[in-house]
Structure 1
Amino acid sequence: MNYRQKKSRVLISLLLCISVIPMFFNPSWNLSVYSFGPWKSSFCSCLKCIRDGDPRFREQIDASPEPFLPRKHSISENDFLWWKKIKQEKYDFAFFNATVDKVFEMLPIISEDVEPRPDRCRICAIVGNSGNLNGSRYGPLIDLHDFVIRMNYGPTRGFEVDVGTKTTHRVMYPETASLLDHTTHLVFFPFKMEDFLWLIENVGSDLNKQSLANKNLVMILNPAFMKHVHQVWLQKKGAYPSTGFMTLAFSLMICDEVSVFGFGADSDGNWGHYFEKIKVQNFGTGYHPGKYEYNLIQQLQKIQKITLYKGH
């Protein structure tokens, strides 16, 4: 980013802050995530970078498999066998490799740069779907981030005050798919072989039908990374990690600063969604170790690797 771009970014951000503070300011917000200025750090140009500080945390990040499948994909058969158990797949490793090869023939898959750069400050907002976003008035704050990564259905229309309007990346799989605009990255989470086949048909196909997403902006989560998150981060708790936690995990690798919104239960202890009315109280998290994941998120906040906004 050159000097003129930085200067423009500062001006725009100040104008946005001036316009929203009277109506939306919440004294609990930590605006230190906005690192506009010439500050330098050992790993990025933000005021505070994820990889700075504790070398053990940095080593854990660096030891992770690539979060997204690269064009020369090469996951091990052991990684495949772990992934295969998620949905009790019947296909073998050879079929997996052949299918992924076909995906790469049809889609120019993006493998995001995970290496930090001293001239870059990439600030990301991870927006979950927790009911604790209702009444939070986080919308303007969320929209100030460079990347705004949303999950599954998570709508913005009608909820702008609390969740914002900006979406740069949308995490989805076939059962939660929705039509994306031409500028939004599809971050595809494959949980079974049929998911890859679905991707080819709905995004990579040249048939005369509307594509679900821009095929030039597709990123596919690496099954080896899923396994790593489950075994290393979650210590094998639960059947497999939740979509939200895997999203947070990959954001720690592609972002320089991370803000987390809409995770955990609401103030009544319900694990519901901000866009749904709760008819029956829900204190469980299904197949996922939701409470364990949320405790890890709080630990990341404690050691200042993320900024957690707990909502309403």
Structure 2
Amino acid sequence: MKNNSMLSKIWNFRDIGDQLLYVYEKLVKKDWTANQTNAHSLRQELARYRPELNDSTTIILHQKNVKINDSIKKVYSKEPIKITPEIFHRLSKSDPIGLPKGKRYHSCALVGNSGSILHSGCGERIDKHDYVIRCNLAPLAPFKVDAGLKSDYITMNPSIIRTRYRRFRTRKAIKKFNVDVSKYSGILSIPCFGIRLPEVMKAFKLFKGKKPKMACMNTKHFQSVIDFWGSTGAIDKGLSTGFYMVSMAIQLCDEIDLYGFWPFSSRFESNKTDVAYHYFDNIRPDTAEKHHAMDQEFSIIVQLHNLGIVNLNIGSC
């Protein structure tokens, strides 16, 4: 059969997952137009659900929204964190995001960790956004052509403390942590659950070089985002960091571009290609998929894309 025949252009799908990602890719590749009416409606629904989803100053703990001896409930755990004087005095004196009440950033880039961003050449476009959000301390310089260098808000999951930095048990691990974070600017958001917060603060303080401001993620805000999407019946597992950040960006930004969001191990274009789970390492998706409903989350992201609320970039720039 000749390569230019019509039958050569028809895919032979191995399973329903292949069919799904093929359809998603076709949907996302349609011309995209921002729809501020839909974005405003979703923000209003978030705001009506709980007060903290109407106020960007609740996203991070700071000395104006928490007091010494307050107990902060952890996400996915009954054990709370007590705000000791040591923790309190290391929190920002006011909201580090710093948006005036009722204001948002005009354009935001949210950079996920999917290998789909490799060979995209999107780095320059990402860095032109007013505010850039990144997930889980992904390395910058080696991937600047595809993922850019600018950072305004960076997350760090508890699992990174356990695996990449060995729970800060050695001087070598502490040094690696501080050298890594020194590559960033902006805010490094530490979750107040699943880790021993004072140890992170101590490790962060030891390094005297350039580094972002450390901030403590407000678990009340995180829990409200979990509960909001759970109330829709669309997600029945814990949220991934990436999906939480999408919801946070809807509060913070007028226009949102997503890069590196593709939870599948393959892509369909003119030829089917493999996609790494992360663009910067060789981790397998097995562990993450046990704890997060990636398929459910991505289904919502694709729908938000088609509603003009977020712009999901999966190709080259």
1:55-104 CA distances to partner (integer Å, 9 max, x unpaired)? 64132232342322242228xx9982xx35x2x46x4x4xx2333x5322
Structure 1 residue aligned with 2:315: 311
The answer to whether structure 1 residue 196 and structure 2 residue 201 are counterparts is: no
**How do 1:49-198 and structure 2 match up within 5 A?**
49=36, 52-53=37-38, 56-63=41-48, 64=50, 65=52, 66-71=58-63, 72-73=65-66, 80=73, 83=74, 86=76, 88=77, 91=79, 93=80, 96-99=81-84, 102-108=86-92, 110-111=94-95, 112-113=97-98, 115-117=101-103, 121-176=105-160, 178=177, 179-181=180-182, 183-192=185-194, 194-198=195-199
> What are the superposed Cα offsets for residues 156-192 of structure 1, whole Å, 9 maximum, x if unpaired?
2222221112222211145436432373321222323
Whole-angstrom distance in 2 between the partners of 1:199 and 1:281: 26
Equivalent residue for 1:275, pick from 268, 280, 288: 280
Cα distance change on mapping 1:130 and 1:54 into 2, 3 Å: closer
More strand by share: 2
The answer to which of 106-115 and 224-233 deviates more is 106-115
CA RMSD of aligned residues (A): 3.5
Q: Secondary structure at the match of 2:248?
A: helix
TM superposition shift of 1:128 = 0.5
| 1:289 paired residue number | 293
1:246 aligns with 2:244: yes
Contact in 1 for aligned 2:38/2:309 (Cα 8 Å): no
Deviations 1:3-25 (A, max 9, x none): xxxxxxxxxxxxxxxxxxxxxxx
- The residue aligned with 1:220 is 216
> Percent identity of the aligned residues?
22
Q: Alpha carbons of 1:176 and 1:184: their partners in 2 closer, same or farther (altered >3 Å)?
A: farther
Gaps of 5+ in 1: 1-27, 34-47
Q: How big is the shift at 1:242?
A: 0.7
Query: Partners of 2:31 and 2:94 in 1: how far apart?
Result: 32
Q: Conserved in 1, the CA contact under 8 Å of 2:190 and 2:216?
A: yes
Q: 2:207 aligns with which of 194, 206, 210?
A: 210
Match for residue 17 of structure 1? none
> Is the 2:60–2:218 Cα contact (8 Å) retained in structure 1?
yes
SS at match of 1:158: helix
**Given the superposition, is the C-alpha separation of residues 284 and 189 from structure 1 closer, same or farther in structure 2, using an over 3 Å criterion?**
closer
Deviations 1:228-282 (A, max 9, x none): 121212447354211111111111112222111101224157561112347x786
Letter of the 1:199 counterpart:
V
- Structure 1 distance, partners of 2:188, 2:31, is 29
| Counterpart Cα distance in 1 of 2:225 and 2:240 | 10
Q: How many residues align?
A: 249
Which is further off, 62-71 or 176-185?
176-185
For the residue of structure 2 that corresponds to 1:159, the secondary structure is: helix
Corresponding position of 2:16: none
Question: How far has the Cα of 1:110 moved from its partner?
Answer: 4.9
Give the TM-score normalised by the residue count of structure 1. 0.67
Q: Which letter maps to 1:189?
A: P
Q: Tell me what 2:261 maps to.
A: 263
Instruction: Assess, with a 3 A threshold, how the Cα gap between structure 1 residues 187 and 228 changes in structure 2: closer, same or farther.
Output: same
CA offset at residue 32 of structure 1?
7.5
